[in-house]
Amino acid sequence: MLKLLSSTAHTIHHANPSPRVGSNPVKTTLFKALSQLTGWNHELGRRRAFCSNQSDAAADPKSDASNPEASDTKSSSSVVVSTTTTSLDDYQTVIALPLPKKPLFPGFYMPIYVKDRKLIEALQESMRRQTPYAGAFLLKDDEASADSSSSSSTCETENVLEKFKGKELLNRMHEVGTLAQISSIQGEQVILIGRRRLRITDMVSEDPLSVKVEHIKNKAYDKDDDVIKATYFEVMSTLRDVLKTTSLWRDQHIGDFNYQHLADFGAGISSANKHENQGVLEELDVHKRLELALDLLKKEVEVNKIQASIAKTVEEKFSGERRQIVLKEQLKAIKKELGVETDSKSAFSEKFKERIEVNKDKIPKHVLKVIEEHLTKLQLLEPTSSEFDVTLNYLDWLTVLPWGNISDENFDVLKAEKILDEDHYGLSDVKERILEFIAVGSLRGTSQGKIICLSGPPGVGKTSIGRSIARALDRKFFRFSVGGLSDVAEINGHRRTYIGAIPGKLVQCLKTVGTENPIILIDEIDKLGKGHSGDPASALLEVMDPEQNANFRDHYLDVTIDLSKVLFVCTANVIDTIPKPLLDRMEVISLAGYITDEKLHIARDFLVKNTCRDCGIKPEQVDMSDAALLSLIENYCREAGTSAEGSTVLTDESATKTEQSEVVAEKVMIEESNLADYLGKPVFHSDKIYEKTPVGVVMGLAWTSMGGSTLYIETTFVEEVERKGRLRITGQLGSVMKESAQIAHTVARRIMLEKEPDNLFLANSKLHLHVPEGATPKDGPSAGCTMITSLLSLAMKKPVRKDLAMTGEVTLTGRILPIGGVKEKTIAARRSQVKMIIFPEANRKDFDELPENVKEGLDVHFVDEYEQIFELAFGLQFLITAEGARTVEHVSSLLMAEALAMREAMQEASALIDQLRLGTLWVRSKAAKRTSLLNVWFCTDSQELARAINSKTYPMEFSGVLMDIELLSSSFVFYYVSFIGRELNGIADALAKSALDSSVSTL
């Protein structure tokens, strides 16, 4: 710590050195004479000042001739005359004191603390001997100074003296220092006053450290030199700028400074680091010393400007805020005196009290108690406190909720049916279930306690059905989506201690609708997330449990709320991802996709009109034919719902062409032929990959959250591996589907051993089974029967019908198990022009519940054993026995399949189909004893077969053949032939080898 030497202290220490800085001078006759000579008044000399006459010359007048400082001192306003006979030059050996932080400049004083008793005693002894001088030297950058960088300079001196001694301490000090007068010693505190510059030449003793010193003088300079003068005045000007920003120094202190004193003063008061100050101390060239001091002062000015700017900014900010507060308080007082407005706390309290007075009787007592407590708390809080805003928001939420406000419900079933029919086309099963729900509510007088979950693909109307239910019941409607929601606070609310806390979605809903019994639609409940903030699905368990939601507690409100009167409707694309405990609380209503006829009706009566309105097109400007709509549905919008259809049915290009039409009255007509001009090339193509099904390919059925689709199973031969038959599976199949393929391979090998024991194709072949669209993941067990049929088709070299599709899970014993998505799969089959579908017997009830327009035109067979699928897939089996005649019970269904195949060529077969469905066939033999067993399989035009037999175009001659030909219809002729004798196998082989039709084969 550096301080300036006052004029009083300076004169005292030169006139009569004493052990105390504040000692009074001796008022002798000589002292009075000297006082008159110098013009110094000891009564006025107590002001702090940097003494300009504290130079070496003042202490040693004999050096005036050789020292330039002496000449400068003579021009000073005061001259100090020392009464001691000892000159400062006589001090050639001094005690060395380390200074860790800053060098001591001549004219400044600095307190240090010394605990070393030997050093204290040595300093006290020097004062008793009237030689109170020591050397003060700055420490270099070393471990000692670095370790104590956070301590004060006085404490650091103490630490350094304790840590280092003798030569080691000497090596850590700069050579150039200051001769310091010991002003006083008070306990461990030693106050030093800088006198002149020194340089260490040698060490005398180690404890305490004493050194030999050389008194160094300033280099000679010309004080009239213009450059030095200019530098001096620049330093003086800069120093005045520095002094303006601090009250510690006064401008008049620097008025009579000579050149070297001004440089020392400028460096001493600056906040420069110790290396820069040491550089000024060591510089003996006065001009260079002035330049170094000028650099330090310039930096000091810039630092002071920045500090002043920061202080001004802070002061303006606080003064502006204080001014606003005062003005606001004055404005409030004026308004209160005039009666114009009350204070904010009173206004808020009145508003909250008015809210609770409206339905005070309906508000629960525990809620009313909490409101009153917080109203009292609000009056005690200051409006500027953060707690005031928290309490204000809390009261706002509590008082705005519809406590006890219940809207009247409408249980008119006929009105509800009308509303549902207005809003939705089709969906008869869904509407029926909703009407049943409303009817039950009518009998009970309330519809609470039910949670409905609408499950189905996107775009089928799940959300709009929720709105229709609200319309039918005359309830308020609120919807929020939980798709991707992972923060449980969105359901239960945030704690009030959090910044920006708000209640959960359910409380927000009650505030928005204003009733306690709205319909809340929770959308995308199957896409709930789960993160570090909790599990929202678990939070919904309490909300949707009728036994618990009467006492639902939101974390923000922290009071119980009755949610039992709320009707919850949830939507999901699939229910598999909904947690089981949550799913158990719901009544699931499945919505399948729309068939083409329903989509056509919806587009014509609803979507076209809405899209025209949204595009700003008048009905008389644009028209769209049914053929164009049908093409749009099949080629552009094949998904289960109608969302994409609504956005695609009319594009902005329609409006553009309408505007560009030269004749305003001209109507833009959208036909099937020009549909691609508006929508571009078709997005979808036919699901049927094959026009004619090859060997080893069978069509299956699948369904996803987007609806149903057809799925081909392809099997091909890779290589022959004797008795090491293997099956390779591709198509991005899941683990369940891969297991189904392995089961299918095993079952197919067993069936081949039963049907054709000599056919070892599956046992000796490496096969490859593939499911197309490999980029789409597939899984599920329902393709088992399709895979078996594909393997058997390849093994027997027999293709299946091209309009046949099947689905069903197969066990190792050949049992067919039920599957899901019957409606979706049926719709997908119709879209792919499938005429025959094979379903498991257990799914018959699901198919019977489908609308008639979905089942129309389909030949559906229900099976529980794979043997039945085998007969349906590969053709008709005619059994001829030696007994002569027997009834074949199952031939009616087989004839039905044959008739459907021929229906493609001749449309008149409808009457025959109805006849054959219930008919039976008698096969008679003219020579029963000579008849043997023959199983003939064929899938061909019966008329062609009849002509071939009658004209005997087969390549072999036969004798003794008796034919019993029965004409069943004028349009279609079925010939059932019984062959006699040993020629039987030959004729069968001939038929197989004939070129009548590639699909004729015999066993």
The pLDDT of residue 253 is: 58
Nearest alpha-carbon partner for 14 in 71, 73, 99, 94: 73
Helix (H/G/I), strand (E/B), else coil: 109 = strand
Q: Could you tell me which of 525, 564, 532 has the C-alpha nearest to residue 548?
A: 564
Looking at residue 585, its pLDDT comes to 86
Q: How large is the average pLDDT for residues 408-414?
A: 84
Bigger pLDDT: 716 vs 594: 716
Q: Is the pLDDT of residue 417 over 80?
A: yes
| 208 is known to lie in a ligand binding site | no
Q: Is pLDDT above 50 for 332?
A: yes
pLDDT of residue 270: 81
Half-sphere exposure of 124 (CA within 13 A, CB side): 12
pLDDT value at position 768? Answer: 95
Share of the chain above pLDDT 70, in %: 71
| Helix H or strand E encompassing 837 | strand 836-840
Binning pLDDT at 50, 70 and 90, where does residue 623 land?
confident
Give the distance from CA 589 to its chain's centroid.
32
pLDDT score recorded for residue 76: 33
**pLDDT surpasses 50 at 391:** yes
725 is in an annotated binding site: no
Q: Sheet harboring 519-523: ordered strands across? A: 477-481, 519-523, 567-572, 451-455, 587-590
- Identify any residues that bridge with 211 across adjacent strands, giving them in sequence order: 94, 203
Is 700 labelled as part of a ligand binding site? no
On whether 734 is known to bind a ligand per the annotation, the reply is no
Convert 793-805 into a string of H (helix), E (strand) and C (coil): HHHHCCCCCCCEE
Give 783-813 pLDDT, tens digit per residue. 999 999 999 999 999 899 888 999 999 999 9
Please say if the pLDDT value at position 5 is more than 80.
Answer: no
Write down the pLDDT at residue 339. 66
User: How high is the mean pLDDT of the chain?
Assistant: 74
pLDDT of residue 808: 94
What pLDDT shows up at residue 168?
82
484 among annotated binding-site residues: no
Q: Are strands 668-670 and 519-523 parallel, antiparallel or unpaired?
A: unpaired
ω before 694 within 30° of 0 (cis)? Answer: no
How confident is the model over 336-341, as a mean pLDDT?
67
Distances (CA, A) of 349 to 388, 398, 890: 12, 13, 87
Query: Is 463 labelled a binding residue?
Result: yes
Determine if residue 457 is labeled as part of a ligand binding site.
yes
Cα–Cα distance, 76 to 659 (Å, whole number): 100
- The reported pLDDT for the residue numbered 34 is 35
Q: How confident is the model at residue 773 (pLDDT cuts 50, 70, 90)?
A: confident
Residue 102: exposure state from Cβ atoms within 10 A (0-12, 13-18, ≥19): buried
662 or 927: which leads in pLDDT: 662
The pLDDT-based confidence of 653 (bands split at 50, 70, 90) is: low
Q: How far apart are the first and last CA of the chain?
A: 119
How many Å apart are CA 691 and CA 578, to the nearest integer? 41
Gap between the Cα atoms of 71 and 64, Å rounded: 6
pLDDT in tens, 488-519: 888 889 988 888 889 999 999 999 999 988 99
pLDDT band at 92 (very low <50, low <70, confident <90, very high): confident
Least confident stretch, 236-250, 369-383, 867-881: 867-881
User: Is the pLDDT score of 407 beyond 80?
Assistant: yes
pLDDT of residue 714: 94
59: which strand partners?
none
pLDDT in tens, 228-241: 888 888 888 887 87
pLDDT (mean) for 322-332: 79
Q: So what's the pLDDT on residue 740?
A: 93
- Summarised one tens digit per residue, pLDDT across range 246-294 is 656 555 456 667 888 888 888 888 878 888 888 888 888 888 888 888 8
Quick one: pLDDT at residue 21? 35
What's the confidence (pLDDT) of residue 725?
83
The arithmetic mean of pLDDT across residues 85-98, rounded, is 82
Cβ proximity of 931 and 980 under 8 Å: yes
- Render pLDDT for 897-931 as a digit per residue (tens, 0 to 9): 444 444 444 444 444 433 433 332 323 232 232 22
SS3 at position 669: strand
Q: Is 977 annotated as a binding residue?
A: no
| 29 pLDDT tier (thresholds 50, 70, 90) | very low
Backbone angles phi, psi at 588, to 5 degrees: -85, 130
Confidence of residue 38 (pLDDT cuts 50, 70, 90): very low
pLDDT interval class at 661 (50, 70, 90): low
- Stretch 143-166: mean pLDDT: 56
Average pLDDT of the segment spanning 640-644: 65
Q: Higher model confidence: residue 314 or residue 1000?
A: 314
Tell me the catalytic residues.
782, 825
With 50 as the cut, is the pLDDT of residue 964 above it?
Answer: no
